[in-house]
Amino acid sequence: MSHARVESIKEESINRITKDLNKYVRILKELVSYRSVTSWGLDEVRDCASYLSDLLKERGFKVSVKSYGGAPVVLAEVGSGSKSFIMYNHYDVQPTDPLDLWRSDPFNLDARDGLLVGRGVADNKGNIVARIAAVDSLLDYLDVLDLRVKFLIEGEEEVGSPTLAKVVEDNLSWIRADGGIWESAYVGRDGRLEIPLGLKGILYVELILRGPSRDVHSGYAPLIPNPAWRLARLLSKIKDENGVVLVPGFYEDVDPEFASAAEELIKGMEYGELEGMLKELELKEFVRSLKGVDALRELYMRPSLNISGLYSGYTGKGVKTIVPSTAGVKIDIRPVPGQDPRKLLESFKRYLIELGYSDVEVLVHSIYPSGYTKPSENVVKASVKAAREAYGQDPRLAPLTGGSGPIYLFTSIAKTPMTGAGVGYYGSKVHAPNENIRMNDLINGMKHVALTLIEFAQGAP
Amino acid sequence: MSHARVESIKEESINRITKDLNKYVRILKELVSYRSVTSWGLDEVRDCASYLSDLLKERGFKVSVKSYGGAPVVLAEVGSGSKSFIMYNHYDVQPTDPLDLWRSDPFNLDARDGLLVGRGVADNKGNIVARIAAVDSLLDYLDVLDLRVKFLIEGEEEVGSPTLAKVVEDNLSWIRADGGIWESAYVGRDGRLEIPLGLKGILYVELILRGPSRDVHSGYAPLIPNPAWRLARLLSKIKDENGVVLVPGFYEDVDPEFASAAEELIKGMEYGELEGMLKELELKEFVRSLKGVDALRELYMRPSLNISGLYSGYTGKGVKTIVPSTAGVKIDIRPVPGQDPRKLLESFKRYLIELGYSDVEVLVHSIYPSGYTKPSENVVKASVKAAREAYGQDPRLAPLTGGSGPIYLFTSIAKTPMTGAGVGYYGSKVHAPNENIRMNDLINGMKHVALTLIEFAQGAP
């Protein structure tokens, strides 16, 4: 296609996005209004999937909504070109507690002062809307671009995507594409888009320790074994005072190809991005006083092990005096490329036994490996060029996000290279109260997806 | 008074109690129906105090209900004899969670198979009813016995009796008596009444550790200091693996007079009582494999430090991945006679600083010292003789209960020797779901109080 023709498609696409912006904000408002928290139950989750299905059908997509037992997955396709492109998204969101810290109802999009506040606006409903807007703006040109666009929108990402592996297995040839976009990418403090080329895996376990068969009046505390003390001692042996994980083999098996690509990318990254977090979170410093390249390496190249929740006994207001019958901890472990989370789980369990905790109940809530795409892939180059145009600045490529997602199902199982796009920014408060995006990032995010599709259709830039 | 006259009063009293039993069960049902959990709010607490006030007025008591800002205290007096006797009780109860473990509504007395189930039946509403029944049975003889009986019924015991010191200070001459009964005593597995001669003190603190100013997506866990880890490490330094408290001076300052009286009493105690708990609580052994006299000493002679509650981050169902912004622990410390809880608090705070935790917020929810009565006091001898008659077996005197209560305000401040009585038994599940008493213990408990009053009125047995 001639350069002039490509430029005119770009111009047309961007004009449409700008003109129809309010329409997409209304769609986002509708989407946010569904309390699609899968761990709360499936009623509103199913309603949200239906709404998405209708939305895509209106645009000429062929849609199928499939259920694998839990929240349904929406599969949709438009266009008939020879190049295929897939968008991964999820319509489920995190729970909203602590509710009293929200400035407004998390399920009622609050648009004020250039901000859009609501659960899911950044993670990941805003991205769904941006991608729909991008495809809308190119619907008339899909044939010219020889492009076929697919959406896979699941409803179980925030509970660890328990059925996505089955979805991918059952629809493997449909899912396999020449390139795709994952859910995440965000704008940094310097206005540059940060595109992660992969995600960590996850191993989410809950450990439950038991003491007496019921809570006992703590007058008997001098005699009754208290599982809360035992849990505290166990935790102090899982991580040392410097934050180093003591589970044998925890840092081993990292893919050397990933490691060298990551080292290269980290050279181009800005530590300032992370330093800004310190101020925002009112922290003096990061763990082990990490900074600069060391902090970037820790975040983007190494596995993590974190306490997401801790509970035992009476946690309400005021005073209650008991020896609790149970104590529990929710731990999220995030492996990097090359690491097998099942091997990590076995090593973790062996370590528990070694420490004398063989009686501890280990619930595995979620488990999958990491996945990533090499920076040299066409789809990555297309998204980099598109970002330069949409944001007016070079994007920053990150080897991974600190977060997790089952991207390995696309990159490893479906052999589809994936890049990033996203409407969030460094202050989006993902997973926290007052999750928000900036209106301007929403517009740029829409443009970026549209331009990525156009660049990708042209072949390697 | 002639022996025959005393015996006829006893007989008359016991007959009345037996005849009117159903009436007192109805009163207990009414009393249990008030959700008098002071930490939940004061509305039903006040209603409960009004009900008690009416109940005592009907019987000819002079009643005053006084408020010191929180739950009101009921002060009531009947008779005009020269010997005075005071009953300490509380009408407030512990919270009822976890509610799903109750076999019936905790605020609706469930009488089946010789058991009475409901919040407060053992601690302490059943005792209030038993004492009212005992006084009812002696109302016609108070003059003959030259006895004056007083009730002090507070509504803040389960939240640490924050205003009782002020109540005692303001009404010191009214409260001072020749003897009295505290709230607790219970029937052991062998059918003998266990009478504690004192209670431990309390120092209930909540420690709050802060990390980032808000919960953060745990993708950033490799860098963000997590207060849950820090709390776990702190706790592992407060108690060692053997359950020994590491706070400097924690076991010091025990009153040597108490210690030698306690050693003497412990010789007469049965370890079997405690061993029964192991089976009931499905435990293999007590901490440090303690048993026999060593277990009794640990429980009755030494201070304790316990975790009543532990919380951080996400503790709901399913999965949420965050670095929590706070982590907290509720710790109850129970000093023994001679120990000053303020000194323990200072020592605890100094230890926190020494360990590098000077930034931790320390909330003190409750603080008061231990108090006890010597076994040689008349009131103790009276209650021992009465127990022999009511239960058909010698009671067991214990130096303390493992639990706490502000008995020092009576024994130390008001110089009133206090003994014990009570309708609970070893399986009463005090502070836990399905709190219950046995009908037979209720009857014997009523008789015991009546006989204690009669014996006490005769002077030292």
> pLDDT tens, A251-281?
999 999 999 999 999 998 888 878 889 999 9
Last residue of a domain, one of A368, A393, A409: A368
Number of domains in chain B: 2
* A303's tokens: 């596995």
Judging by DSSP bridges, how do beta strands B216-217 and A216-217 pair with one another?
unpaired
| Residue A59: per-residue pLDDT | 96
| Residue A317: per-residue pLDDT | 84
In this structure, are A44 and A132 located in the same domain? Answer: yes
The backbone region for B243, taken as left when phi is positive above 0, alpha when psi lies in -120 to 50, beta otherwise, is: left
* B13's tokens: 């009293």
Q: Do A232 and B228 touch (CB under 8 A)?
A: no
Asked if the structure places residue A70 within a domain, the reply is yes
The pTM assigned to this predicted structure is 0.82
DSSP symbol at B62: E
CATH code for the domain of A239 = 3.30.70.360
How far is Cα B256 from Cα B246, in angstroms, rounded to an integer?
22
How far is Cα A34 from Cα A43, in angstroms, rounded to an integer?
10
| Residue B257: per-residue pLDDT | 92
In this structure, are A352 and A214 located in the same domain? Answer: yes
| Residue A460: per-residue pLDDT | 56
Examine the pLDDT at B460 and tell me if it is beyond 70. Answer: no
In this structure, are A236 and A194 located in the same domain? Answer: no
**Closest CA–CA distance from residue A35 to any residue of chain B (Å):** 16
| Residue A184: per-residue pLDDT | 78
Q: Do B321 and A306 touch (CB under 8 A)?
A: yes
Examine the pLDDT at B223 and tell me if it is beyond 90. Answer: yes
Task: Show residues of chain A in contact with B280, CB under 8 Å.
Answer: 213
Q: Do residues B136 and B24 make contact, with C-beta atoms less than 8 angstroms apart?
A: no
The per-residue pLDDT for range A80-117, each reduced to its tens digit, is 999 999 999 999 999 998 899 999 999 999 999 999 99
Read off the pLDDT of each residue in A144-171 and give the average, rounded to a whole number. 94
From the list A225, A312, A320, the residue facing B283 with the nearest CB is A225
> Does the bond joining B306 to the residue before it have cis omega, within 30 degrees of 0?
no
Q: Do A213 and B282 touch (CB under 8 A)?
A: yes
In this structure, are B189 and B244 located in the same domain? Answer: no
Asked if the structure places residue A422 within a domain, the reply is yes
Backbone φ, ψ for residue B81 (5° rounding): -65, 170
Asked if the structure places residue A226 within a domain, the reply is yes
Percent of the residues in chain A that have a pLDDT greater than 70, as a whole number? 100
* A11's tokens: 């111009």
Confidence of residue B397 (pLDDT cuts 50, 70, 90): very high
From the list A280, A295, A307, the residue facing B312 with the nearest CB is A307
The more confidently predicted of residues B40 and B268 is: B40
Domain range for B61: 3-199+371-457
**Closest CA–CA distance from residue A81 to any residue of chain B (Å):** 37
Q: Do A314 and B305 touch (CB under 8 A)?
A: no
* Contacts within 8 Å (CB) and 24+ apart, A241-245: A241/B233, A242/A287, A242/A288, A243/A287, A243/A288, A243/B225, A243/B229, A245/A303, A245/A305
Q: Do B309 and A310 touch (CB under 8 A)?
A: no
Last residue of a domain, one of B342, B368, B394: B368
Asked if the structure places residue A284 within a domain, the reply is no
Confidence of residue A402 (pLDDT cuts 50, 70, 90): confident
SS3 at position B452 = helix
Q: What is the dihedral of CA B103, B106, B109, B110, to 10 degrees?
A: 0
Examine the pLDDT at A212 and tell me if it is beyond 90. Answer: yes
B/e letters for A40-77, b = 16+ CB within 10 Å, e = fewer, are bebebbbebbebbbebbeeeebebebeebebbbbbbbb
SS3 content of chain A, % helix, strand, coil (to 5): 40, 20, 35
In this structure, are B235 and B355 located in the same domain? Answer: yes
Q: Do B316 and A282 touch (CB under 8 A)?
A: no
From the list B215, B310, B401, the residue facing A312 with the nearest CB is B310
The per-residue pLDDT for range A35-50, each reduced to its tens digit, is 999 999 999 999 999 9
Last residue of a domain, one of B321, B351, B368: B368
In this structure, are B151 and B164 located in the same domain? Answer: yes
SS3 annotation, A264-282: HHHHCCCCHHHHHHHHHCC
| Residue B95: per-residue pLDDT | 94
In this structure, are B127 and B211 located in the same domain? Answer: no
CATH code for the domain of A60 = 3.40.630.10
Confidence of residue B412 (pLDDT cuts 50, 70, 90): very high
Task: Show residues of chain B in contact with A301, CB under 8 Å.
Answer: none
| Residue A268: per-residue pLDDT | 85
SS3 at position B361 = strand
Asked if the structure places residue A155 within a domain, the reply is yes
Asked if the structure places residue B262 within a domain, the reply is no
From the list A38, A235, A302, the residue facing B229 with the nearest CB is A235
In this structure, are A338 and A389 located in the same domain? Answer: no
How far is Cα B457 from Cα B147, in angstroms, rounded to an integer?
7
In this structure, are A86 and A212 located in the same domain? Answer: no
Q: Give the DSSP per-residue string, B132-144.
A: HHHHHHHGGGTTT
How far is Cα A144 from Cα A12, in angstroms, rounded to an integer?
14
C-alpha A151 chain-centroid distance: 17
DSSP symbol at B40: G
* B95's tokens: 């919270």
Half-sphere exposure for B278 (CA within 13 Å, toward CB): 16
Asked if the structure places residue A395 within a domain, the reply is yes
In this structure, are A443 and A403 located in the same domain? Answer: yes
Confidence of residue B183 (pLDDT cuts 50, 70, 90): confident
Asked if the structure places residue B269 within a domain, the reply is no
SS3 at position A26 = helix
Examine the pLDDT at B105 and tell me if it is beyond 60. Answer: yes
In this structure, are B58 and B97 located in the same domain? Answer: yes
Q: Do residues B345 and B352 make contact, with C-beta atoms less than 8 angstroms apart?
A: no
Backbone CA torsion sign across A173, A175, A180, A182: negative
In this structure, are A192 and A208 located in the same domain? Answer: no
